[in-house]
Structure 1
Amino acid sequence: MTDFNWTRDQFHLPQGMIYLDGNSLGPLPKMAPARVMEMMENEWGEQLIAGWNASGWMAQPTRVGDRIARLIGAEKGHVVMGDTLSIKVFQALAAALKLNPDRKVILSDSGNFPSDLYMAEGLVNLLGNGLELRIVAPEEVEDAITDEIAVTLITEVGYTTGRKHDMAKLTAKAHEHGVITVWDLAHSAGAIPVDLAGAGADFAVGCTYKYLNGGPGAPAFIYVAPRHAKTAQPALAGWLGHARPFAFEQGYDAGKGIERMRVGTPPVLHLTALEVALDVWDKVDMADVRARSIALCERFIAGVEEHCPQLSLCSPRDSDLRGSQVSFRFEHGYAVIQALIADGVIGDFRAPDVMRFGFTPLYTSEKDVDEAVGVLTRILRGALWDRPEFLERKAVT
């Protein structure tokens, strides 16, 4: 059984703050500053460039990838770290299209994160040749998977409402029709149990700064199924994805397996901080996380619906269809979120009217949930959100 009292103690949570935004940025692991400082002083400082060999920096992306693999049900040796999530979406999508060259349609849904859709749009415009990005409503994805689809680009858990797609079911339907699947796990990794190998997923990508607590700007990961590892062609043919990067050859020769999905220089500082967070995750069972997440979400929904009738639940009511966040709609949702933040309860807002609250069992308690409901109730009953400083939109919402 996971000891959630112990996991909570592993993170720095500012005094007086109730943090319900781990679905956007996880808090700082307490051991990260000392470990990163040690790396900077003893590895970077003393070893300088020798650190690439002496401290294993060059192998870090695949070493950390294997640790992520356990949390997403991936085979060892088939996950690698590096770059941003958008870059990894581009890589996976381009490679998937190359595996299905006679088809022209990328299928995604309107609940997908805009950056994923922007990457797909950019790739369609870049490649031309009749390629099309087709977007349907989330609930229409299954029926839209037909023999003309080349690739599905689906985020398993939607960023606004937390609606959860059935990965195994959609992947099976896709394969029945000869479709390659790309799954975005940005709101899945560390939030819900994921079984990429069991579902038969072809490609997957995800970020590490949300539920995995890698820190702002922490690198993304990419998964390539073993059956595609030797044939997937990286559109971004980076130096470190070459089979022999230090041969400095003029022509590109893709590296072995997942190594070919490396692009640029590993972000060693960020990967070092992420490894500290993964030390905590090594002691966590995802089934325990999921059970506690559901309990926390259900507790919050019940409290808000009892005391805040102005708000409308827009997340699925059925926990089996929901990730680890709860979203409510309210006309003045942005101002309410700002009022909550000013009172020490941190959630966030997504246009046009969605108030999001993330529930992260590693450090969120029942007491946090009850106190957050109490603060929200007081703000709504007194219309305390209706102040100029809460109505003015900030750059990050």
Structure 2
Amino acid sequence: MSDADAPKPANPAELRARAAVLDAADPLAAYTAHFVPGDDLVAYLDGNSLGRPVASVPTALDDFVRTQWAGRLIRGWDELWLTRPAELGDRIGAACLGAASGQTIVADSTSVLIFKLLRAAIATQQTVDLDRDELVILRDEFPTDRFIIERLADDHGLTVRWVDAPLDAGITPELAAQVVGPRTIAALFSGVAYRSAWWADMPAVTATVQAAGALVIWDCSHAVGSVPLEFDAWGVDYAVGCSYKYLNGGPGAPAWAYVAARHHDTLRNPIPGWLGAAAPFSMTEGYTPAPGIGSLVSGTPPILTMVALGEMLSLIEVATIAAIREKSIALACYAIELVDTLIPAATVSTPREAARRGSHLTIDHPNSAVAVERLWAQGIIPDFRHPSGVRIGLSPLSTSFAEVERGIRALADALS
């Protein structure tokens, strides 16, 4: 479904009435009851920053504390916990990434995993070709991604090649082709851009970077759980993403990393730790990495914070990422209609073409910062992005069409 396909109501009253019709026809409508309600919440439009807790999480956490932590204590590591990062990784791979088992693992934070994969790419590429000395990234990429690339470039005497993209877009095969070449080590791009929600043509960009002999690392923090990904089919090298947005793992939930099986033999973890070793409990001298994706692990995995992530994955597995994507498109089409009708002075800085859009919208307006501050005090939660953007997150399983209508109507009042 594209924006052009969506019916255009003639006035705000029809838009409001249409929310009830859309909710009644929504095959995923019942899932909104699977999330813990907020006491003062009127409309939550920030699931692209922090997903709401699944309703089963309090019971699951209590059960974990009582039966696994207290009940099994140190025995839990051998019985359950040491394999949990790979098991959850495989579930994320199957449900969201189009990845066969053994290629995805849950560990560390997004920042740490981006550092690990970039540093591993540098080591791999320069072992083969010392003339490769450039890293590629968008100039307005998410700050962490830029900061890490700049630090690694500084530490290793490399050059950063910056890519400029329009405010309402992101990386394209054409832009990538202009900067990658025989000196490129790796390119780091977002699958879905954090500000504009531009969903890159990931297979085409991947092929463009690889044609230059370089590796591509995808930051899929705003993509995983909101758009269907096919890493294996697209030939992706490396990818990483957080689990507290559309995977609803909660504040500080661990991130995940994907490394294609073809790279496992050359994968060099720059932070070797005992649980990434082949025989972690042998305590012998020297480091021998664990086989496969397990070598990317460094320290003790954050088992407790994986509980909420597992509960959300159970919902995604039943709902399916294909159905989630269909609702995401419908929510965004409706939200754009609302913005066009109620906030004509705003600029939609997100692709209107559904195929190039993730699951959030950014609209730009001079009064955005003040408006968001006012809305938060009213229990209406979008977020603000410098310099003038309001991001409207549309988390398909937890968001209703009526909630979107309430939120954008209030935003229109606040902006005026």
Same fold (TM over 0.5): yes
User: 1:86 matched to which residue of 2?
Assistant: 111
Over the matched positions of the two proteins, sequence identity in percent amounts to 34
Alignment pair present for 1:75 and 2:97: no
Letter in 1 for 2:215: I
Contact 2:186–2:214 (Cα < 8 Å) also in 1:
yes
Letter in 2 for 1:113: F
Secondary structure at the residue paired with 2:314?
helix
Letter in 2 for 1:52: W
Cα distance in 2 for partners of 1:52, 1:310 equals 57
Secondary structure at the residue paired with 1:282?
helix
2:250 to 186, 199, 215: 215
User: In the TM superposition, what whole-angstrom CA distance separates every residue of 1:194-245 from its partner, at most 9, and x where no partner exists?
Assistant: 1111110000000100000011000001111010012211111111111111
User: 2:88 matched to which residue of 1?
Assistant: 64
The correspondence of residues 190-269 of structure 1 with structure 2, limited to 5 A, is: 190-269=225-304
Cα distance in 2 for partners of 1:217, 1:354 equals 25
* TM-score of the aligned structures, taking structure 1 as reference length: 0.92
Measured after TM superposition, the shift of residue 356 of structure 1 is: 0.5
Secondary structure at the residue paired with 2:318?
coil
Measured after TM superposition, the shift of residue 304 of structure 1 is: 1.1
User: In the TM superposition, what whole-angstrom CA distance separates every residue of 1:117-164 from its partner, at most 9, and x where no partner exists?
Assistant: 111122222223xx1121111353342222221101111111111112
Letter in 1 for 2:121: A
User: 1:21 matched to which residue of 2?
Assistant: 46
Secondary structure at the residue paired with 1:269?
coil
User: After the TM superposition, which of the residue ranges 364-373 and 208-217 deviates more from structure 2?
Assistant: 364-373
Where in structure 1 do 4 or more consecutive aligned residues deviate above 4 Å?
A: none
User: 2:7 matched to which residue of 1?
Assistant: none
Say which structure, 1 or 2, has more relative contact order (CA 8 Å, 6+ apart).
2
Cα distance in 2 for partners of 1:249, 1:85 equals 30
User: In the TM superposition, what whole-angstrom CA distance separates every residue of 1:165-207 from its partner, at most 9, and x where no partner exists?
Assistant: 1110011111211111111100000010111111100000001
User: After the TM superposition, which of the residue ranges 91-100 and 219-228 deviates more from structure 2?
Assistant: 91-100
Contact 2:57–2:308 (Cα < 8 Å) also in 1:
yes
Measured after TM superposition, the shift of residue 264 of structure 1 is: 1.1
The correspondence of residues 313-328 of structure 1 with structure 2, limited to 5 A, is: 313-328=348-363
The correspondence of residues 154-193 of structure 1 with structure 2, limited to 5 A, is: 154-193=189-228
Cα distance in 1 for partners of 2:114, 2:363 equals 28
Cα distance in 2 for partners of 1:287, 1:276 equals 19
Contact 1:113–1:159 (Cα < 8 Å) also in 2:
yes
* TM-score of the aligned structures, taking structure 2 as reference length: 0.88
- Closer, same or farther: CA 127–248 of 1 in aligned 2, 3 Å: farther
- Closer, same or farther: CA 365–343 of 1 in aligned 2, 3 Å: same
Cα distance in 1 for partners of 2:52, 2:206 equals 33
Measured after TM superposition, the shift of residue 258 of structure 1 is: 0.2
CA RMSD of aligned residues (A): 1.5
User: After the TM superposition, which of the residue ranges 13-22 and 271-280 deviates more from structure 2?
Assistant: 13-22
User: In the TM superposition, what whole-angstrom CA distance separates every residue of 1:18-40 from its partner, at most 9, and x where no partner exists?
Assistant: 11101000001111111111111
User: In the TM superposition, what whole-angstrom CA distance separates every residue of 1:237-276 from its partner, at most 9, and x where no partner exists?
Assistant: 1111111111112211111000000111011111122111
User: In the TM superposition, what whole-angstrom CA distance separates every residue of 1:344-367 from its partner, at most 9, and x where no partner exists?
Assistant: 221101111111011111011111
2:180 to 145, 155, 158: 145
User: 2:159 matched to which residue of 1?
Assistant: 132
Contact 1:111–1:159 (Cα < 8 Å) also in 2:
no
Contact 2:239–2:257 (Cα < 8 Å) also in 1:
yes
Cα distance in 1 for partners of 2:415, 2:118 equals 44
- Closer, same or farther: CA 380–118 of 1 in aligned 2, 3 Å: closer
Secondary structure at the residue paired with 1:211?
coil
Secondary structure at the residue paired with 1:182?
strand
Cα distance in 2 for partners of 1:147, 1:107 equals 12
User: 1:33 matched to which residue of 2?
Assistant: 58
User: After the TM superposition, which of the residue ranges 96-105 and 80-89 deviates more from structure 2?
Assistant: 96-105
The correspondence of residues 302-317 of structure 1 with structure 2, limited to 5 A, is: 302-317=337-352
User: 1:390 matched to which residue of 2?
Assistant: none
User: In the TM superposition, what whole-angstrom CA distance separates every residue of 1:53-86 from its partner, at most 9, and x where no partner exists?
Assistant: 23x1111100100011011111211101111000
Cα distance in 1 for partners of 2:159, 2:260 equals 25
User: 2:17 matched to which residue of 1?
Assistant: none
Contact 2:187–2:215 (Cα < 8 Å) also in 1:
yes
- Closer, same or farther: CA 2–105 of 1 in aligned 2, 3 Å: farther
Letter in 2 for 1:275: G
How many aligned residue pairs are there? 378
Cα distance in 1 for partners of 2:42, 2:105 equals 35
Alignment pair present for 1:112 and 2:147: no
Contact 1:343–1:375 (Cα < 8 Å) also in 2:
no
Contact 2:228–2:325 (Cα < 8 Å) also in 1:
yes
Letter in 2 for 1:112: E
Cα distance in 2 for partners of 1:142, 1:167 equals 13
Query: Which ranges of structure 2 fall in alignment gaps of 5 or more residues?
Result: 1-24, 166-170
Query: Which ranges of structure 1 fall in alignment gaps of 5 or more residues?
Result: 382-397
Alignment pair present for 1:9 and 2:27: no
